[in-house]
Amino acid sequence: MIKKIIGIVSTFIFSSSSIAKNDELLLKLIPDERVQAVAEAYSLDCIDFVKKSFNIELDYSNDSVLKLEPILDNLSNYIREKGMSDEDRTAYEKMFGFYIGETYRKNHSSVIWGDVYINGVKYWAIGKQDNNQAIFWPVANVAKRIALGKEADIAVYYKALIE
């Protein structure tokens, strides 16, 4: 079931080039300062977890996001082989996803956190402050990475996003 949901989300993610051509079809961000507070807290949890568990320093640099890919690969393999409670899996998705989003926000001016609705489902997203255009939804991207494995490589996705 989760693969089906993630497949639907990935359709929107990878079709963003066609969406960007028509202003009427742009996904609109609904700014929400509460998401910012949650993102900051989860990103700090991620820094602590990665330091304790893997002795890797995360510093909100774009390169630090690339350090997460091997960790997410191991997590994905573990969950797909042995399983994990939805609650624990969701906590990892939020922790890593909000770190990625916070890194993007800190390195790219004029972006903010908020919500975006896709087919009636709410996702936490990063968007442009000036026009409320949603750019990406990192927690959903991490969920996709965990569910699908290497084909949803976060490092590749993030590099494409910042170029």
Residue 7, pLDDT score: 46
CA triplet 100, 6, 75: central angle to 5 degrees?
Answer: 55
| pTM of the predicted structure, to 2 decimals | 0.83
**Which structural domain range is residue 29 located in?**
2-162
pLDDT of residue 105: 95
**pLDDT of 163:** 86
What pLDDT is stored for residue 6 in this prediction? 45
Q: Per-residue pLDDT for 55 more than 80?
A: yes
Looking at the structure of the chain, the number of domains it has is: 1
Q: CATH number, domain at 151?
A: 1.20.120.1090
Strands laid side by side in the 121-128 sheet: 30-31, 111-118, 121-128, 134-136
- pLDDT beyond 60 at 89: yes
Count the neighbouring beta carbons within 10 Å of the beta carbon of residue 117.
14
Predicted confidence (pLDDT) at residue 81 exceeds the cutoff of 60: yes
